[in-house]
């Protein structure tokens, strides 16, 4: 079995299973409890170190607590390795200090059949943290689940739309939740970061993936995983979601007190609302 080992355990989150379990459970416990009036189709979660963005991420994952027999489709940006394509991990599993999570190979095969730019490879996965940091949260809230880890080496609009269309066609009759991994603006002074990040919040609140892409392309805002976020919004919309809700927003300055150059974090949910 080919298993992708942890790459950032001990850096972004604790490497000891007992300490990691305690930290994730504490974050989930402190996160605000929400009642979402419908079926959850997707989440946006940040991917910084847990001390910075873990509390924001926990607001989304808390909504999944108790679900089972589900595949979490995780879409993240590539920070360390450039490649032209959208990479689904070619191995059998991802591993964290909390154990091994199996890949949904059936869904991988179906998605890969869509062809370019979707490829099955280890490119982008080997040292990348954007997906890895999501897994301990999933391991603490879900039971009997699989994952489909996807890294976007190139986030241009064409690839975003192609990925979203492929997810719509392959996930329509499957039990999935699509998780976009993204932080927002990077290293601006606190108040400038708030203004930039507010634009992403507005686009997500309006469920407008194409405006989000426009705002990013024209540098009105920033999101390092803007492509994964737009793909999640488009895909979940195609899978029946009709509403989004912002769950939590902050930046690193709120955590550390250093507001000279901050990184923005946002958690949100996409869902199909319950009709009367």
CB burial readout 81-103, b (16+ within 10 A) else e: eebebbbbbbbebbbbbbeebeb
Res. 183: pLDDT tops 70: yes
Distance from C-alpha of 270 to C-alpha of 266, rounded to nearest angstrom: 13
pLDDT in tens, 34-48: 999 999 999 999 999
Q: How high is the pLDDT of residue 276? A: 44
Tokens of 161: 């739309």
Pairing of strands 71-77, 146-152: parallel
pLDDT in tens, 83-120: 999 999 999 999 999 999 999 999 999 999 999 999 99
* Across 123-145, average pLDDT: 97
Res. 79: pLDDT tops 90: yes
Res. 275: pLDDT tops 80: no
* Across 227-252, average pLDDT: 98
Using pLDDT thresholds of 50, 70 and 90, give the confidence band for residue 162. very high
Task: Please confirm whether the linkage preceding 117 is cis (ω < 30° from 0).
Answer: yes
Mean per-residue pLDDT over the chain, rounded: 97
* Across 153-171, average pLDDT: 97
Distance from C-alpha of 57 to C-alpha of 248, rounded to nearest angstrom: 8
Gyration radius from the chain CA atoms: 17
- State the DSSP string of 95-114: EETTEEEEB-HHHHHHHHTT
Q: How high is the pLDDT of residue 2? A: 97
pLDDT in tens, 166-180: 999 999 999 999 999
Q: Taking the domain 3-273, which CATH number applies?
A: 3.40.830.10
Residue 274 or residue 110, greater confidence: 110
pLDDT in tens, 185-196: 999 999 999 999
Rounded to 5°, angle at Cα 263 from 202 and 151: 80
Res. 57: pLDDT tops 50: yes
Q: How high is the pLDDT of residue 220? A: 98
Residue 70 DSSP class: -
The domain spans of the chain are: 3-273
Tokens 């250093």 sit on residue: 258
pLDDT in tens, 3-18: 999 999 999 999 999 9
Q: 50 and 73 in contact (C-beta within 8 Å)?
A: no
Tokens 């634009």 sit on residue: 199
Distance from C-alpha of 44 to C-alpha of 182, rounded to nearest angstrom: 7
């Amino acid at each position: 079995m080919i298993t992708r080992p942890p790459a950032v355990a001990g850096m972004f989150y604790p490497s000891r299973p007992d300490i990691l379990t305690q930290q994730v459970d504490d974050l989930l416990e402190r996160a605000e409890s929400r009642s979402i009036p419908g079926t959850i189709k997707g989440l946006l979660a940040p991917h910084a170190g847990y001390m910075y963005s873990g509390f924001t991420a926990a607001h989304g994952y808390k909504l999944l607590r108790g679900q089972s027999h589900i595949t979490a489709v995780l879409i993240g940006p590539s920070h360390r390795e450039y490649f032209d394509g959208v990479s689904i991990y070619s191995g059998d599993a991802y591993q964290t200090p909390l154990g091994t999570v199996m890949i949904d190979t059936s869904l991988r095969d179906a998605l890969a059949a869509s062809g370019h730019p979707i490829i099955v490879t280890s490119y982008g996965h080997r040292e990348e943290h954007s997906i890895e940091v999501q897994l301990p949260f999933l391991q603490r809230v879900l039971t009997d689940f699989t994952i489909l880890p996807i890294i976007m080496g190139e986030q241009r609009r064409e690839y975003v739309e192609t990925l979203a269309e492929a997810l719509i066609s392959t996930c329509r009759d499957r039990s999935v939740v699509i998780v976009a991994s993204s932080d927002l603006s990077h290293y601006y002074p606190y108040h400038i970061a708030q203004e930039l990040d507010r634009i992403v919040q507005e686009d997500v609140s309006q469920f407008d993936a194409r405006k989000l892409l426009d705002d990013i392309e024209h540098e009105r805002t920033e999101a390092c995983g803007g492509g994964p976020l737009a793909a999640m919004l488009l895909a979940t919309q195609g899978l029946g979601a009709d509403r989004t809700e912002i769950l939590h927003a902050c930046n690193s300055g709120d955590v550390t007190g250093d507001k000279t150059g901050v990184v923005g974090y946002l958690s949100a949910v996409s869902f199909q609302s319950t009709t009367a």
